[in-house]
Amino acid sequence: MNENLHDELGRTLRQRADSVSDAPISFEAVRGTAGRIRNRRRAMVAGAVLAVGAAIAVPTAVMSGFGEDRGSTPVVTDPTPTPGEDTTARTPQGLTIRGLEQGDAPGTAWLEGSELHVGSGTVDLDIREPRAVAVLDGAWVVTGVPASGGDAAVYVLDSGSREVLHQEATHHTRLVTNEARTAVAWMAQDGTPRVWQDGLAVPLDHPVSGSGSNHQALALTGERCDADAETVEGAGCTVFFTQEGPRGEVTNWTSSTHGIVDEWTGPFERLIDVSGNRVSAGFTELADDHTCSGVSGPDDASITWSTCDHQLAEFSPDGSLLLAHESYFDGLGPGTITVLDARTQEELLSRNNHESHAFISHAVWEDESHVLASVFQEGEWAVVRIGVDGSMELAVAPQKGEDLDAPFFLSAQP
Amino acid sequence: MASSRASAKDAEFAAWMTARQPSLLRTAYLLSGDHHTAEDLVQTTLAKVYLSWDKVQRREVIDGYARRILVNENNSMWRRAWKKREFSSDEIPDRTTVSDTYDEGHSQALWQFVQTLPRRQRAVVVLRYYEELSEAETAEVLGVSVGTVKSQASRALATLRAAAPAAGFTPDHSGQEER
């Protein structure tokens, strides 16, 4: 065999490929798979935001700066070791659940099966399939299906874990809270944005316009959602939400306590997140094999910066940092966690799964400088805490599980 | 109106899918090394193309689009390491049932070495030497730079050359690493 290896390779591969017998896949089978993929994407989108946050959304981002007080920006430690520093204690640089120290439990509420963990306590929920949790001052909000069956609902529990109210909702609705954590919003089954604040006997329905499906709440801004802005100065809230048309086209909407519903006119194909100071993040391009996303200032029709290297995911609580993932991921979820400076786009931290093949069901900000991620690796799920300073530890120890059945659902800071 | 548009879309997609399915299956098999996995990859790829059919305005790019989804999906599936181990029980009979009468087993040996390559190197080899894509086209499919394609191909060929003597064949070393 004195032939060029290139030619030999080509011939070998062609011969091998020719040995493959066709087993035609039917159009019906493909369409069925497409339906399952569509449902899974929606589920992942809903799970990714799961919790709280005026500025949460799936691939979301929030950004800060833009004229706000930069003095409030958290100090971000340079993860580069200083000379003489002991780096042996540093955790692996990749994304993994192996070899990590056990740290404190998540500083935010999280769901595990039918248990709601909050603080040092655990509450057994009489709800099936709890999927999202948000924390308000003095109340917890959870989505799930009634134990007796029926449609998905949003449950509001007081600090004694007693049910305050429950209301129907879309199966994969997100829960978004305002920055002050006084109110929560979600989408009702008919696409109505619904807002609840402590003291209300029933939630308030915000106005909606147009028809469509797969409505998703993205953000809730403002305070005193229960008050009429016409009579109380500074009162009123705005819900940002998306709606899909019959061909999958997305329309971004804002709906306010004042009774006004408007199509959001910002520069993004699909809005991802809106911060408390109304800085927005969204997709500039969304395809099956790549995405591009960017950031825009408050009420700004232009894009401040954009990237096709990362998919923006969520602003930090003060909006100064952005959680992001790789530009393209599918199926199991992202395998990279990146933190960007929301103003400068500078990459401050990145951990990927190139060595571990771990992946993330979702990740949220725990506080101004830590991210919590629900991570799957080699048949086990764990919650990992990743610090912007480069630290990494376990927040919830690994437990056996299926890759498509994440057991943890974390709430995030708004 | 909407239903007639949907049925026209379905008919158009079904025709494309019927024509492209055998080719996609062959590439999927070379990427995965396993017939069942290849069929799963193709079914998922076709489903994703179907979901995006309305978004792709230029029909001439659809084949490349499908190929990119196929490679990405293979990478995604590959990440399920523990699932992969389940698949491995299928791989052994699949490999042994294919006879290599055309070159006295050399091709079989080379194929086995190809299957030991890291997934990205293997994808580069399949796209460059089976699909006969250019370096730029391969880079586009994989979403990497041309330089990465060159380095990955170079490493793959070096690995195969190093393994060649043990397999009883001696490929020509005069060829350049990359065309």
Higher pLDDT, B108 or A14: A14
Q: C-alpha angle B44/A401/B46, rounded to 5°?
A: 0
- Give the mean pLDDT of A12-34: 86
A29 vs B contacts (CB less than 8 Å): 43
pLDDT band at residue B37 using 50, 70 and 90 as cut-offs: confident
Phi/psi for B128 (5° steps) reads -80, -45
Higher pLDDT, A149 or A396: A396
Mapping DSSP to helix (H, G, I), strand (E, B) and coil, where does residue B172 land? strand
pLDDT at B165 (0 to 100): 66
pLDDT at A256 (0 to 100): 84
User: Which tens digits make up the pLDDT trace of B44-55?
Assistant: 899 988 887 876
pLDDT at B105 (0 to 100): 64
Residue of B nearest to A354 (CA): B79
**Rounded (to 5) percent helix, strand, coil in chain A:** 10, 40, 50
Whole-number Å distance between alpha carbons of A122 and A138? 16
pLDDT band at residue A322 using 50, 70 and 90 as cut-offs: very high
Identify residue B122 by its one-letter amino acid code.
Answer: R
| Lowest-confidence pick of A115-119, A343-347, B129-133 | A115-119
Mutation choice for B interface testing from A2, A27, A325, A336 by most B CBs within 10 A: A27
Higher pLDDT, A22 or A243: A243
pLDDT at B84 (0 to 100): 33
Contact A40/B at CB under 8 A: no
pLDDT at A307 (0 to 100): 94
- Give the mean pLDDT of A218-246: 79
Strand partners, A157: A140, A163
pLDDT at A118 (0 to 100): 83
pLDDT at B127 (0 to 100): 93
A96 vs B contacts (CB less than 8 Å): none
Contact B66/A at CB under 8 A: no
Q: Which fold has domain B1-98?
A: Rna Polymerase Sigma Factor; Chain: A (1.10.1740)
Q: Least CB-CB distance to B22: which of A2, A22, A289?
A: A22
Contact A378/B at CB under 8 A: yes
Distance of residue A351 Cα from the nearest chain B Cα, in angstroms: 16
B27 vs A contacts (CB less than 8 Å): 17
pLDDT at A95 (0 to 100): 93
Which CA distances in Å does A324 have to A273, A327, A345, B64, B141?
12, 9, 11, 27, 23
Q: Listing from the earlier edge strand, what are the strands of the sheet with A370-377?
A: A359-367, A370-377, A380-387, A392-400
Q: Which of A205, A274, A267, A213 is nearest to A242 (CA)?
A: A213
User: Which tens digits make up the pLDDT trace of A51-97?
Assistant: 222 222 222 222 222 222 222 222 222 333 333 444 334 445 799 99
Are B47 and A15 within 8 A, CB to CB? no
Distance of residue A386 Cα from the nearest chain B Cα, in angstroms: 22
pLDDT at B95 (0 to 100): 32
Which CA distances in Å does A162 have to A168, A194, B103?
18, 21, 75
**Cα A94 off chain centre by:** 21
pLDDT band at residue B57 using 50, 70 and 90 as cut-offs: low
Contacts with B, A 234-293, CB within 8 Å: 246-248, 287-290
Q: Which of A23, A288, A402, A357 is nearest to B28 (CA)?
A: A23
Are A12 and B110 within 8 A, CB to CB? yes
Whole-number Å distance between alpha carbons of A103 and B27? 46
pLDDT at A77 (0 to 100): 29
**Cα A272 off chain centre by:** 9
pLDDT at B42 (0 to 100): 92
Q: Which fold has domain B101-179?
A: Arc Repressor Mutant, subunit A (1.10.10)
Higher pLDDT, A214 or B176: A214
pLDDT at A186 (0 to 100): 92
Contacts with B, A 291-350, CB within 8 Å: 328-332, 335
pLDDT band at residue B5 using 50, 70 and 90 as cut-offs: low
Domain residue ranges of chain B, discontinuous segments joined by +: 1-98, 101-179
Answer for the pair A27, B10: CB distance below 8 angstroms, yes or no.
yes
Higher pLDDT, A384 or B65: A384
Answer for the pair A379, A342: CB distance below 8 angstroms, yes or no.
no
Distance of residue A65 Cα from the nearest chain B Cα, in angstroms: 32
B97 vs A contacts (CB less than 8 Å): none
What's the alpha-carbon Rg for chain B, to the nearest Å? 18
User: Which tens digits make up the pLDDT trace of A173-216?
Assistant: 889 988 888 899 999 888 899 999 888 888 888 877 777 787 88
Whole-number Å distance between alpha carbons of A189 and A171? 8
Q: Is A206 exposed, middle or buried (0-12, 13-18, 19+ CB in 10 A)?
A: buried
Domain residue ranges of chain A, discontinuous segments joined by +: 43-68+126-348
User: Which tens digits make up the pLDDT trace of A136-150?
Assistant: 887 889 998 888 888
Which CA distances in Å does A221 have to A47, A180, A225, A334, B58?
21, 9, 9, 28, 40
* Token pair belonging to A281: 């993040």
Kindly state the DSSP code that residue A81 receives in the 8-state scheme. Answer: P
Q: Which fold has domain A43-68+126-348?
A: Methylamine Dehydrogenase; Chain H (2.130.10)
Answer for the pair B173, A4: CB distance below 8 angstroms, yes or no.
no
Contact B117/A at CB under 8 A: no
Are B107 and A15 within 8 A, CB to CB? yes
Q: Is B105 exposed, middle or buried (0-12, 13-18, 19+ CB in 10 A)?
A: middle
Q: What percent of chain A has pLDDT over 90?
A: 25
Which CA distances in Å does A157 have to A134, A160, A396, B158?
11, 8, 24, 63
Are A27 and B98 within 8 A, CB to CB? no
- Give the mean pLDDT of A118-124: 82
pLDDT at A62 (0 to 100): 22
CA atoms within 13 A on the CB side of A350: 14
Q: Which of A287, A345, A289, A344 is nearest to A312 (CA)?
A: A345
Most confident residue range from A35-39, A118-122, A278-282: A278-282
* Cβ neighbour number for residue B168 with a 10 Å cutoff: 11
* Token pair belonging to B81: 């390491």
The yes/no answer to whether this complex scores an ipTM above 0.85 is no
Higher pLDDT, B47 or A299: B47
Query: Is pLDDT at A321 greater than 50 in this prediction?
Result: yes
Are B103 and A31 within 8 A, CB to CB? no
